[in-house]
Amino acid sequence: MFVVDGWSFAAGLGQTHPFSIHDMLAMDQLSDPQVSPDGKWIAFVLRKTDLEENKGLTDLWLVGADGTALHRLTSHKASDSNPRWAPDGKSIWFVSARSDSSQVWRIAIDGGEAEQVTRQPLDVGNLIVAPDGRHIAFTMEVFPDCNAPGETKDRLDEIEKRKTTGRIYESIFVRHWDTWKDGRRSHLFVMPAAGGKAADVMSDIDADTPSKPFGGPDEMTFTPDGKAVIFTARDVGTEESWSTDFDLYLAPVDGSEPPKCLTEKNEAWDTNPIFSPDGKTLAYLSMARPGYESDRFRIILRRWPGNLERVLTEDWDRSPSSICFSADGNTIYTTAANTGQISIFAIDVKTGAARTIVKEGKAGSPGIAADRIIYGLSNLSSPVELYSVNPDGSDVRQITRINSEKVAAARTGQYEQFTFAGWNDETVYCYVVKPINFDPDKKYPIAFLIHGGPQGSFGNSFHYRWNPQAYAGAGYAAVMVDFHGSTGYGQAFCDSIRGDWGGKPLEDLQKGLAAALERYPWMDSERVGALGASFGGFMINWIAGNWPDRFRCLVNHDGNLCERMAYFDTEELWFPEWDHLGTPWDNPENYEKHNPVNFVKNWKTPMLVIHGAQDFRVADTQGLGTFNALQRRAIPSKLLYFPDENHWVLKPANSILWHETVIDWLDQWLKK
């Protein structure tokens, strides 16, 4: 038996309970699997939730590629992460905060204490190791005009002592995601593995690596000879907030020469460099259209050394994400969104032909262990576990069962996917999750979930924030439509939302709900609530004014009220400029035609509004403005405001409050 916040779990004793937020927090989160050089072991990160500390804690674990000998490798009150194997396979490098700052450590896999490798004056992150093991590379946040990390530390200490708190900005970003800019950049440093001075290889460019706010070590690699590094960065001067021109740069490990741009001709996004096993080919991901963050990535192959390139996947209508080579270098394995799944595909390096290896669920982090593919996989009923499969897609084996008892203890709803004719009679996909203890002779209320993005998807995965099982466990049917603009259905489908935020998506949502009600007679058409975040929150406000009689209640998390003002108070300007076909002063009509604020006079549906003060993507004034309008129009409404959360609700205690408040709101209007 184990206990989380007063909730006990004893599946082994045959006791079960309805799935809830407490189960989400109880699940251990597996990530960043790394296969050993000999293919016999897999190191990975496991995150556990500490409710008393109100945060997650991570440790490193090891498991045999055959599923045997699962054991914890590190156990410390500080979090350990970012494991990378030494080339001899006898030890693992990792990043840990156990020395009161994040530094690189090393531990032997056969036991013993971890040894500290770096003692930098600043936190380090994004660790990678050279193929020959002679160098390691990592990032630090530094002031570009400082000559050494110690100078950055001295300046930070001096700033901390100042009585003034004002900052002067001469360019944007001023703030990004949830962080106010202070002039520092994330630079890549390389140092000898045996110890010595860390060289800043980015001293001549004004950029960050990895990309912010979500980039990681996959955006950098050593060259096969270990003498240089390749990294992703966007060096565009004052255009940073409206440019997606990320390039690949090559720099010597000693920082003796300025970084050389390898992808200067492409003004769109280039990232995720990786070398073939023989070191003769550099593969990377590349978009073609500048300013469009949801363009289709293509796999580019570049002869190494040299400049000759070819596009491998020009004719493949999917957007690859993580990539790795087969042991013989003849195949690239990649993950890509695929009709409500994240599938694994094999791409022939000679022809570009793609075949599906793993179709169902959300697959990620493919790696090679001997003659098998290692990957993580989750679905709508289970969080990530490790699996392996033959290259032809046969003989799938589950390697870990980290959460098997917890999954068995929580009753979840059965789910299925169906299609219907949406906008222009085009095929649109939808998931339905049945309520727990389902009885086809009963009628059930509906939680109609609208995903964000808008170039996103509510797919077959285990989500730690918007998990439909939380509603199924509370007695609701969850309905999730992947409307026009969603990813995984071809690039034209994704592109179709441009300039039409309130058009095609709303029609798909209307037709999708009607199709679900016709297909599932046990759904109660009179008791339906709609919920959404980010673009989904915008859509809630749009629905309130343009579909006002359909829902009994609404939930709006971090949604825009005024699209015109949203341009001026967000940070990544390339996004609205692409989706709304320009700036508000050059194309005001496109910001106004689907602007929820213009239809507030039609609002009548009760709404719960949720926002975080540290949300710089959708400023909190948008949520406060929504609540003001609701209150002024005397519409039943509530505001849940988090002073310490960003676009997402991440702190465990806040997540519990979020779910309890949302479920109570639905119950108030749909069950009473």
Q: In angstroms, what CA-CA distances link 519 with 403, 479, 535?
A: 33, 12, 27
CA gap 138, 136 in Å, rounded: 7
CA nearest neighbour of 273 among 188, 359, 363: 188
CA gap 386, 68 in Å, rounded: 12
Q: In angstroms, what CA-CA distances link 446 with 240, 552, 578?
A: 43, 10, 34
DSSP string, 524-576: EEEEEEEEEETHHHHHHHHHHHHSTTS-SEEEEES--S-HHHHHHH-S-THHH
pTM: 0.96
Q: What is the pLDDT of residue 453?
A: 97
Q: What is the dihedral of CA 437, 438, 441, 447, to 10 degrees?
A: 120
- 101: tokens are 């700052």
Length of the chain: 672
- 388: tokens are 């392996």
CA gap 668, 76 in Å, rounded: 44
CA gap 24, 46 in Å, rounded: 14
Q: What is the pLDDT of residue 112?
A: 86
Q: What is the pLDDT of residue 14?
A: 63
- 70: tokens are 């699962």
Single-letter amino acid code for the residue at 632: R
- 319: tokens are 């957007």
Helices (H), 469-534: 469-472, 491-495, 504-519
C-beta separation of 630 from 637 below 8 A: yes
Single-letter amino acid code for the residue at 81: S
C-beta separation of 332 from 355 below 8 A: no
Pairing between strand 309-311 and 179-180?
Answer: unpaired
Enumerate residues 6+ apart whose C-beta is below 8 A from 212.
Answer: 176, 177, 186
- 78: tokens are 């500080």
CA gap 465, 652 in Å, rounded: 10
CA nearest neighbour of 372 among 342, 346, 336: 346
Q: Which conformational region is residue 196 in: left (phi greater than 0), alpha (psi within -120 to 50 degrees), or beta?
A: left
Catalogue the active-site residues: 534, 615, 647
C-beta separation of 348 from 490 below 8 A: no
C-beta separation of 505 from 482 below 8 A: no
CA gap 290, 660 in Å, rounded: 42
CA gap 248, 207 in Å, rounded: 12
C-beta separation of 478 from 561 below 8 A: no
Q: What is the pLDDT of residue 329?
A: 98
- For the chain, residues with pLDDT lower than 50 are 1-13
Enumerate residues 6+ apart whose C-beta is below 8 A from 376.
Answer: 30, 31, 33, 363, 364, 365, 384, 385, 386, 387
- 267: tokens are 């003004």
Q: In angstroms, what CA-CA distances link 294 with 15, 76, 499?
A: 45, 39, 14
Phi, psi for residue 668 in degrees, rounded to 5: -60, -40
Domains of the chain: 412-670 (3.40.50.1820)
Map tokens 């949520």 to a residue. 623
Q: What is the pLDDT of residue 115?
A: 97
- 643: tokens are 């002073």
Helices (H) then strands (E): counts for the chain: 12, 42
